[in-house]
Amino acid sequence: MGTQETIRLLAANAFAERVGDTGLRTAQIDALGAEGARVHADLTARRGAGGLPFYDLPFDRGGLAASLAAAHRARETGDTLLVLGIGGSALGTTAVQRALNPGTHNLLAAPLRAGMRLFVCDNVDPEGFGEVLDLLEPGRTVVNVISKSGGTAETLAQFLAVRRWLVDALGPAGARRRIVVTTDPTRGYLRRVAQAEGLAALDVPPGVGGRFSVFTPVGLFPLAAVGVDVEALLDGACSLDAVSSLPGLWDNPAYLFAAIHVAFLRQGRNVHVLMPYSDGLRDVADWFRQLWAESLGKRRALDGTEVCVGPTPVKALGTTDQHSQVQLYVEGPQDKVITFVEVENLRRDIDLRADVPGGAEVEYLEGKTLGALLRAEKRATEAALTRAGRPNLTIRLPRISAHAVGQLLHLLQIATVFAGGLLGIDPLDQPGVELGKELTFGLLGRPGYEARAREVELLSTPDPRLTVPHL
Ligand code: PA5
């Protein structure tokens, strides 16, 4: 694998030499060295003891084999895969499928379409969910219900609705044949149902949280079913291991990405934008938004002190959001770090001929391509930000391939746990999300959560003084 096949982190525009006083000094990264070494030692020890399984998922081909076999069966059963899941159970699949299949995947006819059509339902709005069910045919559909805990209200509700939809059309046995459950290997409601009903089931390895699970059957099964080369995806992640295991902040791109963001966060620069210049990578920004927010947004440090720390990740898309967000990024509050994701070699390009009545407005486009314009727009935005003293970085992919996407996701996962270590918080838990889940259980009358229901009722009693009357 030559260097041109490796993603690169270009960090110069985060530093004072390029952006002036608003940038970091290289000495600030050096000063994080001792803290970084401690975090590295801790992560390495925990990884060695099996306490951070996400690190080694790309090497674990057991999940891959099970996913490939299940994908093969699914493709024999139907031509459409409906994924039910939320948060980390959905975002990785959406991101990778969008990156590696054409945006028109679902519209293509079978020989042109690499695998099954894919619908990922990650919300319980009955309007949106109902629209998808209206579109699909039970007899052509395989349903993958994904929940690590096996108890998330949204996913279980979707499961109930879709199970009924399948049973009504195909009967109980037909429905059972079309459901694949992905959940904890031994615990939780979904595992029990899978066992009781004889449903096909895949394992989320213990100790792997939703947002770190894209390289488990959570991502691998649906991605294999829709024609993604999941082996190459894992190979890409594996190929990052050597460099992302290096201890030095300047040597390890994942650590450097984390260290730069944490250094800025400590200066109050707490809005972290990920802005791919690529339609295919737009949902990677969505995946990263969850990873960065849910992992690093924490009330308490590991020692229990209240810190209420965390960046606010923002997703943007180049060039589209140049006409939406970039004005704010160039001139608004100095509270942002922008990371561009750019692709060196596009999978296709479109030539431009300015063979229309003359005019300086279009003549400069003669002989250029859309890809050249996309690249120029990125460079120009980067330059505008840099000139305006706005720190920015670039992650450069040689091309969008399963290999490069595997590297990119793994880099960002490792950066996230390293940033968590520097911030002194646990990046793997999500107590704030759990609270919301419990309050929902209470409101819907789940036994054992009555006190939670009372909490919500107390907080939602209307206050007439603060209620705006209808006009
Ligand atoms: O990253 C996480 O842990 C969460 O976003 C979960 O993926 C999400 O809450 C869904 O949980 P579960 O997979 O248990 O249904």
152 close to ligand 1 (CB < 6 Angstrom): yes
Question: Which amino acid makes up residue 292?
Answer: W
Query: Cis bond leading into 319, ω under 30°?
Result: yes
How many whole angstroms separate alpha carbon 407 and alpha carbon 110? 29
CATH domain 3-32+249-423 topology? Rossmann fold (3.40.50)
How many whole angstroms separate alpha carbon 23 and alpha carbon 404? 29
**What's the pLDDT at 461?**
80
How many whole angstroms separate alpha carbon 120 and alpha carbon 139? 18
182 close to ligand 1 (CB < 6 Angstrom): no
**What's the pLDDT at 3?**
41
**What's the pLDDT at 470?**
65
**What's the pLDDT at 422?**
98
Spatial strand order of the sheet with 312-315 comes to 8-10, 392-399, 336-345, 271-276, 312-315
The residue extents of the domains of the chain are 3-32+249-423, 55-229
Q: Do 307 and 299 touch, CB atoms closer than 8 A?
A: yes
| Dihedral angle computed from the Cα positions of residues 167, 170, 172 and 178, in that order, rounded to the nearest 10 degrees | -90
Catalytic-role residue among 76, 127, 306, 323: 323
Mutation pick for ligand 1 pocket among 148, 292, 295 (CB with most ligand atoms within 8 Å): 148
Atom of ligand 1 nearest to the CA of 154: 15
Characterize 219-257 residue by residue with b for buried, 16 or more Cβ atoms within 10 angstroms of its Cβ, and e for exposed: bbbbbbbbbbbbbbbbbbbbbbeeebbeeebeebbbbbb
Mutation pick for ligand 1 pocket among 287, 295, 433, 435 (CB with most ligand atoms within 8 Å): 433
> Which helix H or strand E contains 80, and what residues bound it?
strand 80-84
401: DSSP letter: -
188 close to ligand 1 (CB < 6 Angstrom): no
The reply to whether 3-32+249-423 and 55-229 are identical in fold is yes
Mutation pick for ligand 1 pocket among 93, 146, 152 (CB with most ligand atoms within 8 Å): 152
Task: Give yes or no: 403 in active site.
Answer: no
Per-residue pLDDT of the chain (471 residues; tens, 9 = 90+): 444 479 999 999 999 999 999 999 999 999 999 999 999 999 999 999 999 999 999 998 889 999 999 999 999 999 999 999 999 999 999 999 999 999 999 999 988 898 999 999 999 999 999 999 999 999 999 999 999 999 999 999 999 999 999 999 999 999 999 999 999 999 999 999 999 999 999 999 999 999 999 999 999 999 999 999 999 999 999 999 999 999 999 999 999 999 999 999 999 999 999 999 999 999 999 999 999 999 999 999 999 999 999 999 999 999 999 999 999 999 999 999 999 999 999 999 999 998 888 788 888 999 999 999 999 999 999 999 999 999 999 999 999 999 999 999 999 999 999 999 999 999 999 988 888 888 898 999 999 999 998 888 888 887 777 777 665
How many whole angstroms separate alpha carbon 306 and alpha carbon 28? 25
How many whole angstroms separate alpha carbon 402 and alpha carbon 121? 23
- Secondary structure class of 115 (helix, strand, coil): coil
Q: Do 368 and 352 touch, CB atoms closer than 8 A?
A: yes
Cα 217 off chain centre by: 15
Q: Which CATH class is domain 55-229?
A: alpha beta
435 close to ligand 1 (CB < 6 Angstrom): no
Cα 232 off chain centre by: 18
149 close to ligand 1 (CB < 6 Angstrom): yes
**What's the pLDDT at 2?**
44
Atom 8 (ligand 1): residue with closest C-alpha? 87
Q: 240 forms bridges with which residues in the sheet?
A: none
Task: Give yes or no: 366 in active site.
Answer: no
What are the residues whose beta carbons fall under 8 Å from the beta carbon of 305, sequence distance 6 or more? none
How many whole angstroms separate alpha carbon 139 and alpha carbon 178? 9
Catalytic-role residue among 154, 294, 342, 382: 294
How many whole angstroms separate alpha carbon 40 and alpha carbon 56? 16
Q: In terms of pTM, does the model score above 0.85?
A: yes
> Which helix H or strand E contains 17, and what residues bound it?
helix 16-19
Pairing verdict, β 298-300 and 306-309: antiparallel
